[in-house]
Chains A and B, each alone.
Chain A
């Protein structure tokens, strides 16, 4: 990996590029540049008392700040690190039928050693960094492919099918590795350092000695590694990337130029938490990675058209949104009765808003998804890593179907934002409760 050229980039663009590259050299460079900048505050350290941490891996909201409208502020920098069980992590002594029958490593259940090492390494992260966006939040999620190695199957209380294509126009690859580590922090150097601490050459993290790392347990899939960012100003700092036009609004938190994740359009953490069975306290996660034809979105559509397609034609006509969604406060403004249904909008306006369609999937007015997605310029192309938590993957699929709007009488170009997005990958994950986050079996209680 070559490091980005410092002289050619703004500071923010350079740091973003370092996170994307990853690795020890990138971390050093990142530390150099952040030391020179504003981020000289020490990173708050974590806790020695694991019991003081929430039982849910996905309990981020109460540790996050909120904007003036009460919307949770996601950590600014993200890395998604895909891993598979290393060949040494299997249970060599297993004398079960499954163990004996399984010749390949991928079919071997993880050993207790691997499990202990994983938990120890994750606890080290929690000692090193405060559980918050100022420090570090993270989840470790497991694919259906991971659970295939176990003799038993996942309990009925966990809805975790293998990923599949969800629209007729897409032909995605699927995340079929074992697990995905999601690292998130407002500090890009923390995201890099945490990954280096788990997989690289470091002895300490934020002053905490590293007892162990994950190199013996997991192999990383570098070609599937993903990074991104969210927050006002970050997208506009990416215009060094081809395909990211200068016209991305300065205050936009996402590349598409508008706010998202409004408090009232987000499910609560309770709503997405599995409430029964051995994985109670966990949740499911869908990650889809997509390209955005951002130059078309900003270059060929005007603001009125963008608002029509992202929110609704009524939002555009009544100027409800503001430049980047600032007028909307804590809601997408799509109400049950206030704004005409997607179907009516299709006929009357020839355009249906993305938010309008998504609202159709609400249950009793409550959105079923907790979105923690972020923008990306991985591969030097604009995109989005759409990460959503929900109690079961079926709920995601239902929302996705509503957003596809296949039943709507509207042209593809005016069907929400379908025209601008190209899904490349999809993956489904179980995020177990913290107590089961280290290499859980498919049926923990049996």
Chain B
């Protein structure tokens, strides 16, 4: 059964990627424009990471004098572990304060999808590897996890709603419980919500294992607490579980180590991103720049490795009036790498995250508005809904678990301020949104109306950045996120706007 053979999948994948590499993942033309700023900020961040790295678990050397008499049992001091020290440990020196190409593409074993109630999840396994955890927004709130034990796996799942196909991109407390021959192995694990260039949004953690063997993992998915609209409303209300098994042995380790694909040295740390897993199979132009591809696929695309990949819609796939990014501290609009401006290139950026802002209005976008505003707002006859979608550059992965506020200004005066609510919509996927105006007649001529209208400025500020752990290449971006300012264009029907 070749299609289900993960080895076959992965080697096919690698071949595609090799092809794709020749065409080069997209790089970002804004690099030079803001180089000086980036270097200044990067310096501070790398310093903090280096320092924080010293606080890691086990500390490597047993140098706390008092514990000298009691050696650990070897598991934690065996630096090479089961992988013979072949896991990539290379880091990017002085990475830009932006999304950048990592040192390598990971290889992983993709297990069969598992059904768990209204969800389906795909387990993925790799070698234990570094990632960065986030708890806050300043330098000290970022910590690099460096796996101490070379024995075990990096265990990941991507969770998908079975009906809509939407990849669930928010952290509601998923749990892994590992067993071997019916015996529990270690503590339960709360995997981190993570962003990876290749896998998009997923849940994962390094999980130590006592040795080779067959392991069973029970995955618990608690009820979703995030606001859901459209076909997603009312789904994910139950706590569900699903189980998968995997073999941990030499064959596995060879597979995930031999499949590693290192980038050329001079390209590591360049602005850009690896293409999503399996993307090469769709034609492999390797652009990695999918914003301009016109694909309005709302939720996810199943690649040939049957791993769903969380994406938000391309900028021109939203109905409604797209707000126009003005010049702001968040980053200047610029042309794409090939010199041809696309709608995606016009998006204002905040710490390298493009931000889409769309206004849905009762007269033009009735069905979208009704769906997005949700049942809970139906009684107040919603007239406008403001949707804000920050995403990764290049791969359009949503940036969840941030706190965003939108304020509207008219003639320099503050009109209103809204805390945006994280929402999963069955059509537009992950975004932050708010019902702006409660009464349909409110949009008329009243000067004091809080309804958003042509000529208004909408300022989106990021109270706290996406609290999502990062794989290599994402750890310096989306952290110190400045506010971005949008202008509301003329005319109710937005569509594409040129500037």
Which residues of A come within 8 Å of B, CB atoms? Answer: 10, 168-169, 171, 239-240, 242-243, 245-247, 250, 291-296, 298-305, 308-309, 313, 316-317, 346-351, 379, 381-382, 406, 409-414, 418-420, 422
| A305 near B67: Cβ-Cβ < 8 Å | no
| A300 near B170: Cβ-Cβ < 8 Å | no
| B225 near A305: Cβ-Cβ < 8 Å | no
| A413 near B143: Cβ-Cβ < 8 Å | no
Q: Give the docked Cα–Cα distance between A69 and B136 (Å).
A: 31
| B403 near A305: Cβ-Cβ < 8 Å | no
Q: Give the docked Cα–Cα distance between A168 and B220 (Å).
A: 11
| B175 near A422: Cβ-Cβ < 8 Å | yes
Contacts of B192 in A (CB 8 A): 413
| B141 near A293: Cβ-Cβ < 8 Å | no
B468 an interface residue at 8 Å Cβ cutoff?
yes
Q: Give the docked Cα–Cα distance between A419 and B57 (Å).
A: 18
With known contacts A171-B239, A300-B145, A349-B136, A295–B57 Cβ distance under 8 A? yes
Determine which of A247, A302, A308 lies in contact with B58 in the assembled complex, contact meaning CB atoms within 8 Å: A247
Determine which of B136, B405, B464 lies in contact with A305 in the assembled complex, contact meaning CB atoms within 8 Å: B136
Q: Give the docked Cα–Cα distance between A420 and B145 (Å).
A: 16
With known contacts A411-B170, A414-B467, A308–B135 Cβ distance under 8 A? yes
Instruction: Across the interface, name the chain A residue whose C-beta is closest to B52.
Output: A302
B198 an interface residue at 8 Å Cβ cutoff?
no
| B464 near A349: Cβ-Cβ < 8 Å | yes
| A413 near B171: Cβ-Cβ < 8 Å | yes
| A422 near B188: Cβ-Cβ < 8 Å | yes
Q: Give the docked Cα–Cα distance between A382 and B225 (Å).
A: 29
Ordered by A's residue number, 6 sampled pairs between the chains whose C-beta atoms are within 8 Å are A169-B172, A246-B76, A247-B55, A293-B189, A349-B137, A411-B468
Q: Give the docked Cα–Cα distance between A243 and B57 (Å).
A: 11
Determine which of A242, A246, A309 lies in contact with B67 in the assembled complex, contact meaning CB atoms within 8 Å: A246
Chain B residues 131-156 with CB under 8 Å of chain A are 133-138, 140-141, 143, 145, 148
Q: Give the docked Cα–Cα distance between A418 and B419 (Å).
A: 25
Instruction: Across the interface, name the chain A residue whose C-beta is closest to B73.
Output: A240
| B187 near A300: Cβ-Cβ < 8 Å | no
Known contacts A168-B223, A346-B403, A414-B467, then 7 further A-B pairs from the complex at CB < 8 Å, ordered by chain A residue: A169-B175, A239-B72, A350-B134, A350-B136, A351-B135, A381-B186, A412-B190
B482 an interface residue at 8 Å Cβ cutoff?
no
What is the distance, in angstroms, from A23's C-beta to the closest C-beta of chain B?
23
| B141 near A243: Cβ-Cβ < 8 Å | no
| B135 near A350: Cβ-Cβ < 8 Å | yes
Q: Mark B169-193, 1 if CB is under 8 A from A, else 0.
A: 0111101000000001011111011
With known contacts A381-B187, A413-B193, A298–B57 Cβ distance under 8 A? yes
| B135 near A347: Cβ-Cβ < 8 Å | no
| A308 near B141: Cβ-Cβ < 8 Å | yes
| A347 near B464: Cβ-Cβ < 8 Å | yes
Determine which of B70, B136, B184 lies in contact with A10 in the assembled complex, contact meaning CB atoms within 8 Å: B70
Contacts of A422 in B (CB 8 A): 175, 187-188, 190
Contacts of A242 in B (CB 8 A): 186
Q: Give the docked Cα–Cα distance between A246 and B140 (Å).
A: 22
Determine which of B67, B140, B184, B463 lies in contact with A347 in the assembled complex, contact meaning CB atoms within 8 Å: B463
| A316 near B136: Cβ-Cβ < 8 Å | yes
Contacts of B64 in A (CB 8 A): 246, 250
Q: Give the docked Cα–Cα distance between A240 and B74 (Å).
A: 11
| A410 near B467: Cβ-Cβ < 8 Å | yes
| B187 near A350: Cβ-Cβ < 8 Å | no
B110 an interface residue at 8 Å Cβ cutoff?
no
Contacts of B463 in A (CB 8 A): 347-348
| A418 near B189: Cβ-Cβ < 8 Å | no
Contacts of A303 in B (CB 8 A): 55
What is the distance, in angstroms, from B378's C-beta to the closest C-beta of chain A?
22
B208 an interface residue at 8 Å Cβ cutoff?
yes
What is the distance, in angstroms, from A170's C-beta to the closest C-beta of chain B?
9
Contacts of A171 in B (CB 8 A): 220, 239
With known contacts A296-B189, A300-B145, A411-B171, A246–B72 Cβ distance under 8 A? yes
What is the distance, in angstroms, from A260's C-beta to the closest C-beta of chain B?
20
| B422 near A409: Cβ-Cβ < 8 Å | yes
With known contacts A308-B136, A349-B137, A419-B173, A293–B188 Cβ distance under 8 A? yes
Q: Give the docked Cα–Cα distance between A410 and B148 (Å).
A: 29
Contacts of A294 in B (CB 8 A): 187
With known contacts A295-B187, A302-B143, A349-B137, A247–B57 Cβ distance under 8 A? yes
What is the distance, in angstroms, from A403's C-beta to the closest C-beta of chain B?
14
Q: Give the docked Cα–Cα distance between A300 and B403 (Å).
A: 23
Q: Give the docked Cα–Cα distance between A291 and B188 (Å).
A: 7
**Most chain B CB atoms below 10 A, which of A304, A382, A418, A422:** A304
What is the distance, in angstroms, from B192's C-beta to the closest C-beta of chain A?
6
| A347 near B208: Cβ-Cβ < 8 Å | no
Q: Give the docked Cα–Cα distance between A414 and B190 (Å).
A: 12
Q: Mark B42-74, 1 if CB is under 8 A from A, else 0.
A: 000000000010011111001010110110100
Instruction: Across the interface, name the chain B residue whose C-beta is closest to A293.
Output: B187
Contacts of B402 in A (CB 8 A): 350
| A409 near B403: Cβ-Cβ < 8 Å | yes
Determine which of B67, B141, B171 lies in contact with A304 in the assembled complex, contact meaning CB atoms within 8 Å: B141
B205 an interface residue at 8 Å Cβ cutoff?
yes
**Most chain B CB atoms below 10 A, which of A294, A300, A308, A381:** A300
Q: Give the docked Cα–Cα distance between A254 and B52 (Å).
A: 23
Instruction: Across the interface, name the chain A residue whose C-beta is closest to B176.
Output: A293
Chain B residues 404-420 with CB under 8 Å of chain A are 405, 419
Q: Give the docked Cα–Cα distance between A116 and B193 (Å).
A: 57
Instruction: Across the interface, name the chain A residue whose C-beta is closest to B53.
Output: A302
Determine which of B222, B464, B468 lies in contact with A169 in the assembled complex, contact meaning CB atoms within 8 Å: B222
With known contacts A419-B173, A419-B190, A300–B140 Cβ distance under 8 A? no
| A299 near B58: Cβ-Cβ < 8 Å | yes
Instruction: Across the interface, name the chain A residue whose C-beta is closest to B145.
Output: A300
Instruction: Across the interface, name the chain A residue whose C-beta is closest to B220.
Output: A169
| A350 near B143: Cβ-Cβ < 8 Å | no
B269 an interface residue at 8 Å Cβ cutoff?
no
B401 an interface residue at 8 Å Cβ cutoff?
yes
What is the distance, in angstroms, from A238's C-beta to the closest C-beta of chain B?
11
Instruction: Across the interface, name the chain B residue whose C-beta is closest to A171.
Output: B239
Q: Mark B463-480, 1 if CB is under 8 A from A, else 0.
A: 111011100000000000
Q: Give the docked Cα–Cα distance between A299 and B128 (Å).
A: 13
Instruction: Across the interface, name the chain B residue whose C-beta is closest to A379.
Output: B184
| A239 near B67: Cβ-Cβ < 8 Å | yes
What is the distance, in angstroms, from B25's C-beta to the closest C-beta of chain A?
29
Chain B residues 194-231 with CB under 8 Å of chain A are 205, 208, 220, 222-223, 225
| B55 near A302: Cβ-Cβ < 8 Å | yes
Instruction: Across the interface, name the chain B residue whose C-beta is closest to A250.
Output: B66
What is the distance, in angstroms, from B128's C-beta to the closest C-beta of chain A?
11
Q: Give the docked Cα–Cα distance between A292 and B464 (Å).
A: 27
What is the distance, in angstroms, from B173's C-beta to the closest C-beta of chain A?
4
Contacts of A292 in B (CB 8 A): 187
List 9 A-B pairs, minimum CB-CB distance, nearest first: A299-B57, A350-B464, A411-B401, A304-B140, A169-B222, A412-B173, A305-B135, A300-B145, A422-B188
Q: Give the docked Cα–Cα distance between A246 and B464 (Å).
A: 33
Contacts of A351 in B (CB 8 A): 135-136, 141, 464, 467
| A420 near B190: Cβ-Cβ < 8 Å | yes
Chain B residues 72-88 with CB under 8 Å of chain A are 72, 76
Q: Give the docked Cα–Cα distance between A240 and B192 (Å).
A: 27
Determine which of B70, B136, B205 lies in contact with A296 in the assembled complex, contact meaning CB atoms within 8 Å: B205
| B171 near A301: Cβ-Cβ < 8 Å | no
Instruction: Across the interface, name the chain A residue whose C-beta is closest to B148.
Output: A299
Q: Give the docked Cα–Cα distance between A404 and B314 (Å).
A: 36
With known contacts A293-B187, A305-B136, A308-B141, A300–B55 Cβ distance under 8 A? no
Contacts of A240 in B (CB 8 A): 70
With known contacts A346-B403, A349-B464, A411–B208 Cβ distance under 8 A? no
